[in-house]
Amino acid sequence: MPGEGEVDRFEVAYSAGVAEQMRPPAEPGPRRSSADGGPLGAAAPSEGFALAGCVLTPTRGIERGYVVIEGDEIAEVTERRPQSVRVHETKGVIAPGLIDLHGHPEFNVFAAWEPPKQFINRYAWRDSDLYQALVRDPQNHLLDVLPAWTQLHYSEVRALVGGVTAIQGTGGQARSYSEEALVRNVDKWIFGGQVGRSMIDLPSGSRGMDDLQSILAGIEAGAVKAFYVHLAEGRSDNQRSRDEFERLVGLDALTASTVVIHGTALSEDQLADLADAEAKLVWSPQSNLRLYGETTKAGAALARDVTVGLGADWLPSGSTSLLAEVKVARRCLADEGHEVSPKRLVDMLTRDAAKAAGLADKLGSLAKGRPADLVVFERRAADPWANVVDAEPASVELVMIDGDLTYGRADWISELAASPDESQLEPLIAWGKRMLLDTSHMVNPNGEQAPTLGQLRTDLVREFPQVGPIFA
């Protein structure tokens, strides 16, 4: 625990939001097709190809469909077998890349924490001695001895192997575009701009007020399309948590761009106000249940047509993957008496999440002209939407981001990549399958070659032997 006058780096890292526009990248983003003149990934195909399988579109599943990929874009989604490009038969379900709309990735190196008791709100567990010993002190040690991006890169790999192509919440550690290049980050630089901002806590007195005013000015100007804010995170009978919503309203911060994270204490009337403002909601039921014994009235929110996305939160109290989180969400909705279709659950991971992030024109759907961000799942269920909901990270066969074969079966990548750079492709055995991981886009600020997962794991285990495993 930091002594008197010492900076608690944990608290700084945990509470760091993104209030201002970050500096733009000095060079074009790390993922570009050869047509853009930028560097290719180690496993980037040099020519167009098509993936064949059951393709999930915004309106239906095309049982025998094809996604044609040229460079970094989807050239076509069709039911007709393409004649001008080679076709790769997946025999699986092809879905948009999943979007994890809430997390604290730098902390996802820890194993799951089992709280010995429930808390009334997030301020209670943040101040607890047990949490200090189990998470805060180890994190302060790692922040002292490891480069900041070590934990971030490790957590990005964890997200990627679970089919996630975009995340939220890296906070202040990743201050530059190049420090977070393996998966997209929706509140940092993305697609040549930065449409997201975030705050962990509402302003307290004058502290944080300048940040909020800057964000609200960005919303008014149309530059900020998603404002993520932790709000009303606690038990429904906790007045402090419930009062946060009224504080948000009083600060004129309830807007169509506001994305409420958690909202466990929100009443149905407050959810109605959220809907009236066209604000959005991010739901993390696993973490809520572990910490507070209850979760957000997500069914009531959906009944009012609130756009709801899902977030695995952080590993200490959340789910090990977004795919695990959606199973908790399905059960909670059923318990609330608001069962939804598997398609609706998949939308919460893709299309609805992209809408909440202000990126509906780029992410969340497979369609012509969109970035080639997708995931292929093993086919195990007749209903393709249920196939995704029932999937586990072990079911992931291939992940593409911007046309790069970022993670996938070794035999598939060897076939699809024209001349794969084996020095940049890390062989892995993931749940019994031989896979390849392309970390060539993870660029360190000093320009050195990106670390492999093996190197990251070695560094972490040396300093913290209890590091939470990825392939478990």
**Pairing relationship of beta strands 73-78 and 61-70 according to DSSP bridges:** antiparallel
> Directed axis angle between helix 322-335 and helix 285-292, to 10°?
70
Q: What is the largest CA-CA distance in the chain?
A: 70
* Apex 153 CA angle, 151 and 159, nearest 5: 105
Question: Could you tell me the residue ranges of all domains in the chain?
Answer: 9-24+99-356, 43-97+363-463
Q: Give the C-alpha separation, 203 to 200, whole Å.
A: 10
Q: Which residues pair with 258 in a beta bridge?
A: 227
pTM across the whole model:
0.93
Lowest mean pLDDT among 54-63, 379-388, 415-424, 460-469: 415-424
Judged against a pLDDT cut of 50, whether residue 415 lies above it is answered with yes
Lowest mean pLDDT among 3-12, 195-204, 389-398, 401-410: 3-12
What lies within 8 Å, CB to CB, of 253 at 6+ separation is 202, 212, 215, 216, 227, 229
Judged against a pLDDT cut of 70, whether residue 177 lies above it is answered with no
Q: Give the C-alpha separation, 165 to 38, whole Å.
A: 20
CATH topology of domain 9-24+99-356: TIM Barrel (3.20.20)
Q: Mean pLDDT over residues 241-260, rounded?
A: 98
Residue of 288, 263, 287 whose CA lies nearest to 277: 263
Q: Give the C-alpha separation, 384 to 346, whole Å.
A: 10
pLDDT band at 437 (very low <50, low <70, confident <90, very high): very high
Query: What pLDDT is attached to residue 92?
Result: 98
3-state secondary structure of 325: helix
Q: Mean pLDDT over residues 433-441, rounded?
A: 88
Q: Give the C-alpha separation, 311 to 300, whole Å.
A: 18
Query: What pLDDT is attached to residue 32?
Result: 39
Query: What pLDDT is attached to residue 258?
Result: 98
More confident residue, 105 or 19: 105
pLDDT band at 451 (very low <50, low <70, confident <90, very high): confident
Q: Give the C-alpha separation, 239 to 405, whole Å.
A: 49
Query: What pLDDT is attached to residue 445?
Result: 43
DSSP 111: P
Q: How far is CA 122 from the centre of its chain?
A: 21
Task: Please give the class, per CATH, of domain 43-97+363-463.
Answer: mainly beta
Give the dihedral sign, CA 118/123/126/128: negative
pLDDT band at 332 (very low <50, low <70, confident <90, very high): very high
pLDDT band at 442 (very low <50, low <70, confident <90, very high): low
**Using one digit for the tens of pLDDT, what is the confidence trace for 254-285?**
999 999 999 999 999 999 999 999 999 999 99
Rg of the chain in Å (alpha carbons):
21
Query: What pLDDT is attached to residue 393?
Result: 98
